[in-house]
Structure 1
Amino acid sequence: MIDTFTPAAATRSGLAVLACLAAFSAPARADLTAADVWEQWRDYLEGFGYMVTADESGSGDTLVIDNLKMTISMEEGGGTSTVTMNMGQMTLTGMPDGSVDISLPASLPMSLVVDGVASEEPVKVDLDYTTAGFAMKASGTPEATTYTYSADSIGIVLKGVEAEGKPMDLGTVDFTLAGIEGVTAMETENGTSAQQRMSAESLNYTVDITSPDPAEPGTLKMTGMASGLSFDGTFDIPDGVDLNDMAAALKAGYGMDGAFVYEGGNSSLSFDDGADSFTSQSSSSGGEVGFAMDIDGLSYSVRSDDTKISVAGSSIPFPVVIESTELGLHLALPVAQSDEMKTFAAGLTLAEVSIPAELWMAFDPTGKLPHDPVTISLDLSGVGRLFVDLFDEKQMVQLGSTGGTPGEVQSVKLENLLVEALGASIEAVADLDVDNNAMSPLGPFPNVFGTANINLIGVKSLLSTLSDMGLVPPGQAMMASGMISELAEQVSGPDDLAAEIVLSPQGALSVNGKTIPLQ
C-alpha cells in the first residue's frame, strides 16, 4: 500500500489536484456559469494557502484556463521551502441546462518546482496527467455545487526531473486508474465542505528507477495492482483558516474523514545496488484504510485480508514466506489541549500468521512443538487528556526542551488480549484506574489500581516441552509451572486455568483472593 519535498506539501498538492481534476452528483437544477466554477476552484485552492495565477480566455459560455500556477510557501528547517505546481490547459463550458462541462486534453502537462530550504538548489519534476474518456459536469449553484465525473482511465507519468540545474534520467514512474466514477457535493456558503465518493475498477503502477549518481549505484523496481477500489470521505474547511497552523485550524472547525477500500491486489519490489539486493512479493484479497481528524481527535486504521508476503535478499539467509488471514492496526487519540477527559484507543491484529518452515527447523528441528499459525490480538481503550496541542509546533518544542508531561491518563481498559501459539493460549481483560494526584505505593509513578482476569490453556504443557528442548532452564520452568498451579484455578482441567488479579489503591496484590507480597 503505498519526498524531495515535504509530506505536508505533497498532501496539499494532491488534494488540490484531485479537487480540480476529479470532483463529485445530485440533480440540482440552477444556473451555474463557467466563471462560477473557476471562482470556486480559486477560492478552494487559496483556502489551502496557495497563491493562484492563470491565463483566462474564451468567449460566451466558454472559459479557457491556461498556465495555471499554484504556489505555497512553508517555514521549515530554518528556512523557507516553496512548492509550485504548474498545469496546462482546461476548458469550462456553460450548458443550456445551467450546468458546466469541464474538459481536459488527453495529455495535460504538469510540473512541480520545489525551492529547497535555505541555499539548496530547486528541484523540478515534470509530469504528464493523462486521461481517456474523461467527462466531468458541475451543476447546482455557486454555493452548493455537485460535480460528477467518469473516465476510462486517468494516469500520471513521470516525464523528467531536474536538480541543481541538471536533468536527471531516473527511469519510469507510471500510475494508472481505470474505470473511474465519482461524485462530490461541495458547499461554500460558510467555508468549504464536501462529501466525496469515488470508485475505480483498478489501479496499476510501475516504478523502475536507477540512481543517477555513479558513486551510489542502485536500482529500485516496484510493480503492482489493486482492484475494486472505492473511497468515501468528507472534509470541512472554515473560512480564513491557515492550514499551515493545524492546531488553530482544528479549533476553528477544520475536519476530515475517509475510508479507502480495495477488493484485492498484489505487488512486487526489488532493490539492487551491486553489493546488496532485496526482493519481495505480496498479495491480498482485500482491505481498508480509514482516517479521521478534527478537534476531538485523530484516528487511523488499516486492515489487510488473506495476506501473503515473501521476501528474499542478500542479507537474509533463506527466503521467507508469511501468510495471515488478517493483519490490522487501529489508533485513536486526542490532539488538542483540553480540561475535559477524552477517549483513546489502540489495537493490533495478527490473525493466523504462518511461521516459515525454515524458522521452525531452526529452533524445533524434531517437531516437538505444534506448528500451528500464530494469532495475536490486542485492544486497548482509555480516558485521558492533553496539556498541549500536538499540532502546535511551539508547544511541542517547549515540551521537548523542558521534558514536561504531555498529558495524563485517568483510566485504561484492556478490552481483549489473545495470544495463541505453540499449542497454548492466553486470554486477558483488565480494567485499571489511575490516580494522578497520588503516588503509587510501589514506585515513583501515579497510583494505578484495578482488576485483571486471565485464562491460560496449555501453558504448563508448553513450559514442560520448552524445558525438555533446553530452551527454558528446568528449574525456572518448574518454578513458573508451580506458581501457576498454586495461584490459578482450574476451569475444565489441570492445564485450563483462570486467575483474577486485583491491585488495590493501597498497593496490595491478590490472585484469586490469595495475597501476594510485593515488597
Structure 2
Amino acid sequence: MPKTAFLRPTAAFAVFLLASPALADLTVDEAWQTWQAQFRAMGVGFEASESRKGDALQIGDITLSVTLPAGAGQGAVTFSGPRFKPLGDGRVQVIFPDSVTATISGAVREEPDQDPRTFLIELQTSSQNQSGIMSGSPERVVSEWISQGAEASLTKVVLDGVPVKANGTMSFGPYTYNSTTTDGENLTIEAKSKFSHYGIVYDVEFPEGGVLENSNHAEQAETTQRMVLPKDGLDFLTLHNQLREGLEIYFDATAASGTSTQNTYDGDKPLTRQNMTVNDYRAELALDADGLGYDASIGPFTLDVQAPGLFVPLSFASQGVAGALKMPVLATEETKDARFLMSVLDLEMNQDVWATFDPEAQLPRDPMTVTIDLAGKLKVLTDLVDFAALSETAGKIAPIQPAALEIRKVLLSAVGASLTGDGAFTFDASDTESFGGMPRPEGRVELGLTGANTLLDTLVSMGLLPEDQAMGARMMMGLFATPGQGEDTLNSTIEVNEQGHVLANGQRLK
C-alpha cells in the first residue's frame, strides 16, 4: 500500500528552503507548464491558447478530453482559463474570472455495435474571494487555494440532441486546497482539501417521462490524495505495466456528517422516496504494485424508504457499517495478503414493518448484527488489470489461486438466534481433482449456533414455517452439529483433512 507518512525536514532545513531564491522562484511559464504536466500525467488531452498581458500569462479556453478504451466513446470539458501573474517575490498568483462557464460533452456507446449516445452539460460556476498561489521550483511546485465559497449551477442538459429539463446546484462553503507536484522519474501529486460543508441538489425531467430529485449534503469534509503518475500519461490498457513502473493512486475522504434525499415522480404522482443521514463517514482507496485496497465505514445512520410496492414505509437505523477489501492485482511467483470485511452493527427496523408479519411480537426484536472477517493469501496467475489478457484466458484458467484462508470472525445475530464461527484452511495447488478443479483445502472451521430450535418453534407457531420443513432443518442440524453446554446451543467442527476427506464432528461426509 502507498505510504502516507512522509519525511519532514528539520526546522533549520525548512528555513533554508524558504530562504533559498534558487528553490523558491517560480515563473508564470513554469506554473502553466506544471498544469500541463498534470494533464498529461493523468492521460488527459488538452488544448489552450496563450497570450501575454504585460508580465502576466493569460490562458484562453481550456479543453480537456478523454478517450474511453475499446471505442466506447469520448468526452471533453471546456472552461475559461486563468491568468498567471507574478507577485515579484518568486510566487505566482492564479486568477480565474469571477464567473466561468464550463461545458461537458461527449459520446458513449452502450454496446460496441450501437450508435453512440451523445450528451452536453453546461455549468455556470462562481467563487467568493478565491485566491490561488503557486510557489517553489519547477521540480517541486506548491499550490495553495483558499475560497470563502463556490457554486456551480446547471444551465443546460442535452441528451442525443434533445434538451432535457434539469436544474441543479453544487455549492461549497469556505474551503482550502493545498497540493505539491514533484517532477522526478514520475510525476507525484499530493493534495489535501478541507470543506466546511458542501451540497449537491438537482432535479431531472426525463424525455420518456418521470422526474428525479436528488439532494446530498455533507459537513466538515476532508480529502487526501496521492498520485504517482507516468509523465506520458495514465493508460488503463497498460495499467499492469505502469503499476510495475511505480504508478500509485491513493484517495481518502472523510465527513463528520451527511444527508441524502432522493425522490421520483410519475408526473405529479410520487413514486419513491428515500432519506438517509450518516455520521463519521470515511472511505479510503489505494492502488499500487502491491494491490488494490478499499476501506470504508460510516458511524450511526438512519434510512427511510417509501415505494409503491411496500405496504408500509421502511425505516432502518444502525450503529455503523464497515467494509474492506485488499487483494493483489499483479501476477507474481509469491503469494500475497488478501482480506475481506463486511460488518453491520446493531441494525434495527421500524415497528410497523415488524407488525406486518409478527403482529403479536412473538419474535425477539433485538438489533441485527452481521460480521464476516476473512484474511488469506492469494497467488495471482494473470494480471487482474491486464484486461486484454483476462479476455483471452476467460473460461480457460483461473486468474487467482488461493493459498490460505483465515476465518477471523463470522457472526450473524438476529431474531433471538446467533451463529458464530472461526477457523483456517490452507490450499494445495498440486491437487485440483479432489474438489472439482479447485486446489484442495485442508483445515477446519468451528461453528456455534444458539437459539435455533427456539426460533424454529416460534416460526412454526406463527404459521411462517411448515412443521415438516422445521423438522428437516432440525435433522440437518443434528447431522452437522452436537449439543453444546448451554441451553439451545449447538456446536460443529467442519474439517477437511490431508486426504481430502470432509468431516463433521469426526464423522466423514465425503
Quickly name the TM-score band, shorter chain normalised: 0.7 to 0.9
1:163–1:360 Cα change, 3 Å: closer
CA contact (8 A) 2:44 2:233 kept: no
Structure 1 stretch 359-368 or stretch 251-260: which is displaced more? 359-368
| Structure 1 residue 271: Cα displacement | 0.8
2:202 pairs with one of 207, 230, 233: 207
| Structural mapping, 1:155-166, within 5 Å | 155-165=151-161
TM-score, normalised to structure 2, is 0.88
Aligned position for 2:308? 314
CA contact (8 A) 1:220 1:269 kept: yes
1:190–1:371 Cα change, 3 Å: same
Q: Secondary structure at the match of 1:285?
A: strand
Letter in 2 for 1:301: D
2:59 equivalent to 1:65: yes
1:99 pairs with one of 91, 99, 117: 91
| Structural mapping, 1:38-437, within 5 Å | 38-76=32-70, 79=71, 81-117=73-109, 119-120=115-116, 122-165=118-161, 168-211=163-206, 213=207, 216-245=208-237, 246-274=239-267, 277-400=271-394, 402-437=395-430
Structure 1 stretch 376-385 or stretch 299-308: which is displaced more? 299-308
| Structural mapping, 1:437-448, within 5 Å | 437-439=430-432, 441=434, 445-448=438-441
Distance 2:219 2:176 in 1: 14
| Structure 1 residue 458: Cα displacement | 2.6
CA contact (8 A) 2:34 2:141 kept: no
Letter in 2 for 1:255: E
2:508 pairs with one of 490, 509, 517: 517
CA contact (8 A) 1:381 1:415 kept: yes
Q: Secondary structure at the match of 1:372?
A: coil
Structure 1 stretch 437-446 or stretch 246-255: which is displaced more? 437-446
Q: Secondary structure at the match of 1:58?
A: strand
| Structure 1 residue 229: Cα displacement | 0.3
CA contact (8 A) 1:227 1:264 kept: yes
Distance 2:508 2:277 in 1: 51
| Structure 1 residue 289: Cα displacement | 1.2
| Structure 1 residue 444: Cα displacement | 5.6
Structure 1 residues 135-171: Cα deviation after superposition (integer angstroms, max 9, x where no partner): 11111111111111111112222221334455x1422
| Structure 1 residue 260: Cα displacement | 0.5
Structure 1 residues 235-272: Cα deviation after superposition (integer angstroms, max 9, x where no partner): 10133344232222222211111211000111211111
Structure 1 spans left out of the alignment, 5+ residues:
1-24
2:462 equivalent to 1:466: no
| Structure 1 residue 358: Cα displacement | 3.2
| Structure 1 residue 507: Cα displacement | 3.4
Distance 2:435 2:224 in 1: 49
CA contact (8 A) 1:63 1:92 kept: yes
| Structure 1 residue 332: Cα displacement | 1.6
Letter in 1 for 2:199: N
CA RMSD of aligned residues (A): 2.6
Structure 1 residues 335-389: Cα deviation after superposition (integer angstroms, max 9, x where no partner): 2222221122111111111123233223322222111111111111111122222
Distance 1:126 1:250 in 2: 35
Distance 2:476 2:79 in 1: 71
1:445–1:170 Cα change, 3 Å: same
| Structure 1 residue 218: Cα displacement | 0.9
CA contact (8 A) 2:402 2:439 kept: no
Structure 1 residues 173-197: Cα deviation after superposition (integer angstroms, max 9, x where no partner): 2111111012112101322112211
Aligned position for 1:19? none
Structure 1 residues 285-316: Cα deviation after superposition (integer angstroms, max 9, x where no partner): 22111100112111222222211111112222
Letter in 2 for 1:268: T
Distance 1:239 1:45 in 2: 9
Structure 1 residues 441-492: Cα deviation after superposition (integer angstroms, max 9, x where no partner): 465643212021223333333333334334444466467557767953634x
Among all aligned residue pairs of Structure 1 and Structure 2, give the percentage whose two residues are the same amino acid. Answer: 21
Structure 2 spans left out of the alignment, 5+ residues:
1-13
Distance 1:85 1:28 in 2: 37
CA contact (8 A) 1:258 1:292 kept: yes
Q: Secondary structure at the match of 1:314?
A: coil
1:121–1:489 Cα change, 3 Å: closer
2:497 equivalent to 1:501: no
Letter in 1 for 2:378: G
| Structure 1 residue 505: Cα displacement | 1.7
